[in-house]
């Protein structure tokens, strides 16, 4: 290597890795050779080393007194909580069944009420239809004026023609 | 971490104690905001804790932790860049000229006599030099310098290839050398 020639960029990249102990054996041998041949290269190595050492002057940072405590509190905050209890569906199901039963009961009661009123409470039109033969002959029945005589006539079938 | 996975809360407390300063340091140098650094460090630990059940020791714990840190820092940068109306981006001087920090360093360098800088002044210069790096370079430098992580571990944490880390660190160290060389005794 030329004694006054500076290292080229590739050599310099290797030079830093050389100083950091990150080169393979062949590359180390090549750099050793270059350094032995070139005072410029040796100067570069020295400057790289000494400027790197200046970084030791950087102030050392310290965590604040509360840092560790607050960090641990925040980390453990999530795991100190008791797990959420499993959902008990029994009361909900019981309430739902009750509501369905009540609804069904109401429907049944309504239906029974409808049936009862339909069967047991006579429709006025039905009564008119049933009594139509009597109504139609009411004047005749009134002319007889005696209920026992009228019943006797009915028993003997003498009123059948009036139906 | 396996003890944390098994429900040992004391083991998690030990992890927080062991890594809190380192994580806050990385975030602080990334963001230059102390409160934000603590917020992100706490979020990183909470993510570790929340992910404990699925943890598998496929890589070093520290690599996994700093991968989480890298993701958080990336999200933070994305949020910040959305808030900014104008994003100058990148570390290199763009069409608008050198960034203010670079200019400050040049000014200091120009005024720099052979006098000995006070330690605090030198510390500020180093800090400003670090800030001239882009975020990826800066994180790679921090992980390598202060966490002693190998290129392979840094690649894992930053989702890069080892070759990309090699290139990243080389450019970062060249940039630092360019700025800090005048301050070397």
Q: Which of A48, A54, A76 sits opposite B126 (nearest CB)?
A: A54
pLDDT (tens digit per residue) in B91-137: 444 444 444 444 445 555 444 544 556 888 888 899 999 999 998 99
- Hunting for tokens 């496929």 — which residue is that? B58
Task: Name the band, by pLDDT with cuts 50, 70 and 90, for residue B138.
Answer: very high
DSSP secondary structure of chain B = -HHHHTT-HHHHHHHHHHHHHHHHHHHHHHH--HHHHHHHHHHHHHHHHHTGGG---SS-HHHHHHHHHHHHHHHHHHHHHHH-SS---SSS-BTTBS-HHHHHHHHHHHH--SSPPPHHHHHHHHHHHHHTS-HHHHHHHHHHHHS---HHHHHHHHT--HHHHHHHHHHHHHHHHHHHGGG--
B166/A71 touch (CB, cutoff 8 Å), yes or no: no
Are B57 and B1 in contact by the 8 Å Cβ rule? The answer is yes
Chain B nearest-CA residue for A62? B21
User: Which residues of chain B make contact with A58, given a CB cutoff of 8 A?
Assistant: 29, 123, 126-127, 130
Give me the mean pLDDT over the A87-114 stretch: 89
Average pLDDT, chain B: 81
Q: Which of A20, A64, A75 sits opposite B45 (nearest CB)?
A: A75
DSSP A66: T
Give me the mean pLDDT over the B61-67 stretch: 88
Checking if the pLDDT of B90 tops 50, the result is: no
Give me the mean pLDDT over the B38-62 stretch: 86
Residues A125, B87: Cα–Cα separation, whole Å:
96
Residues B44, B67: Cα–Cα separation, whole Å:
10
Task: Name the band, by pLDDT with cuts 50, 70 and 90, for residue A85.
Answer: low
Chain A nearest-CA residue for B170? A13
Chain A nearest-CA residue for B146? A56
B38/A59 touch (CB, cutoff 8 Å), yes or no: no
Residue B154 CA: distances (Å) to CA of A22, A27, A29, B65, B175: 12, 21, 25, 11, 19
A136-141: long-range contacts, CB 8 A cutoff, minimum separation 24: A137/A162
Provide the 10 A C-beta neighbour count for residue B165. Answer: 27
Minimal C-alpha gap between A35 and chain B (Å): 17
Provide the 10 A C-beta neighbour count for residue B123. Answer: 15
The larger pLDDT score, comparing residue B185 to residue A104, is at: A104
- Does the model's ipTM exceed the 0.90 cut? no
The larger pLDDT score, comparing residue B93 to residue A20, is at: A20
Q: Which of B46, B130, B166 sits opposite A74 (nearest CB)?
A: B46
* pTM confidence score: 0.63
Q: Is B169 on the interface with A (CB under 8 A)?
A: yes
Task: Name the band, by pLDDT with cuts 50, 70 and 90, for residue B59.
Answer: confident
Tokens of B184: 């070397």
DSSP-derived 3-state class of residue A140: helix
């Amino acid at each position: 290597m030329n004694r006054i020639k500076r290292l080229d960029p590739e050599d310099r990249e290797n030079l830093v890795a050389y100083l950091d102990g990150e080169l393979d054996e062949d590359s180390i041998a090549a750099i050793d050779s270059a350094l032995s041949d070139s005072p410029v290269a040796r100067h570069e190595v020295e400057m790289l080393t000494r400027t790197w050492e200046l970084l030791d002057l950087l102030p050392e940072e310290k965590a604040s007194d509360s840092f560790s405590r607050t960090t641990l509190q925040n980390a453990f905050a999530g795991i100190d909580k008791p797990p959420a209890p499993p959902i008990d569906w029994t009361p909900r199901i019981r309430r739902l069944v009750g509501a369905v039963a009540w609804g069904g009961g109401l429907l049944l009661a309504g239906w029974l009420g409808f049936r009862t009123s339909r069967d047991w409470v006579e429709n006025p039109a039905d009564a008119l239809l049933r009594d139509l033969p009597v109504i139609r002959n009411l004047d005749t029945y009134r002319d007889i004026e005696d209920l026992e005589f009228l019943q006797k006539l009915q028993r003997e079938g003498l009123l059948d023609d009036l139906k | 971490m396996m003890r944390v996975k098994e429900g040992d809360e004391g083991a998690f407390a030990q992890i927080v104690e062991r890594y809190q300063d380192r994580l806050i340091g990385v975030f602080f140098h990334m963001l230059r905001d102390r409160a934000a650094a603590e917020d992100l460090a706490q979020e990183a630990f909470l993510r570790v804790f929340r992910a404990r059940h699925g943890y598998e020791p496929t890589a070093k714990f520290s690599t996994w932790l700093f991968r989480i840190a890298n993701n958080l820092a990336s999200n933070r940068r994305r949020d910040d860049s959305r808030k900014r109306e104008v994003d100058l981006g990148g570390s290199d001087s763009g069409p608008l000229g050198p960034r203010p920090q670079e200019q400050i360093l040049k000014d200091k360098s120009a005024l720099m006599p052979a006098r000995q800088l006070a330690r605090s002044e030198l510390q500020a210069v180093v800090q400003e030099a670090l800030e001239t790096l882009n975020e990826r370079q800066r994180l790679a430098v921090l992980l390598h310098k202060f966490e002693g992580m190998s290129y392979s571990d840094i690649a894992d944490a930053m989702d890069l290839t080892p070759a990309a880390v090699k290139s990243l660190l080389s450019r970062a160290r060249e940039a630092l050398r360019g700025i800090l060389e005048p301050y070397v005794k």
